[in-house]
Amino acid sequence: MSPARSYLTRFLHLSVLVVVIHQLLTSTVMERPTPGDDPELPYSLHTWIGAAALFVLMLFWIWTLLRDRRETRLSQLVPWFSPSRLRAIGEEAFGVARDIVQWRAPSLDLSAISSAVHGLGLLLATFLAASGAAWFFVLTGTPYGRAILRLHELAGNFMWAYLVGHATMALLHQALGEKVISRMFGFGAPTHGSAAPAE
């Protein structure tokens, strides 16, 4: 059984999704201004919404520490230091591989893997927001700034891959009857689902 999804969790999840999509899209059309030139609108939007994204992500991490224990805990989102949680991920991955080898549809109840993947997405988004803010507000024009900017751009490529994969899996779950999208973004009262966990 999956954890409950509170209204605040739903709101923060949607906020992160919106700012991530916005940042990825503006990154494809913006150009960094040359010294002395005024920035164009896509660059300005990318900069300031990126700063807002860092704030939203910090709220998400803080909320993860404070929210009801029925929701996904921080230790589930970042399980890499817990032998028992790593073992749970391994067991789920082994179960999926076994089902595939035996030509069976894999179970969709992969709470340990799903939580860990959500955590990786949040960590990646946080790195993107933090590195972008560090470059713009502190390190522009410095050797460290150029290195941070290259890492920021590389992480953006990984975020594109993560977003496509995450959306594909969510749509697959939805198509197979696990109403993960409805439960996460629905306007009904927060409920306990049956398979996929919340962030």
Q: Where are the domains of the chain?
A: 7-185
Q: Do the beta carbons of residue 2 and residue 180 sit within 8 Å?
A: no
Write down the H helix ranges in the chain: 7-27, 41-66, 74-77, 83-101, 111-134, 143-175, 180-185
pLDDT of residue 198: 44
Nearest to 159 by CA among 48, 47, 23: 23
Tokens 């996904």, located at residue: 72
Beta-carbon contacts of 164 under 8 Å, excluding residues fewer than 6 positions away, are none
pLDDT of residue 48: 93
pLDDT of residue 192: 44
pLDDT of residue 185: 61
- pTM of the model as a whole: 0.82
CB atoms within 10 A of CB 182: 12
Instruction: Report residue 103: phi and psi, to 5°.
Output: 60, 40
The CATH number of 7-185 is: 1.20.950.20
pLDDT one digit per residue (tens) for the chain, 199 residues: 445 678 888 899 899 999 999 999 999 998 888 777 888 899 999 999 999 999 999 999 999 999 877 888 899 999 999 999 999 999 989 988 888 888 876 666 778 888 999 999 999 999 999 999 999 888 887 888 889 999 999 999 999 999 998 888 777 766 766 666 666 665 445 544 433 444 4
pLDDT of residue 187: 47
* Length of the chain measured in residues: 199
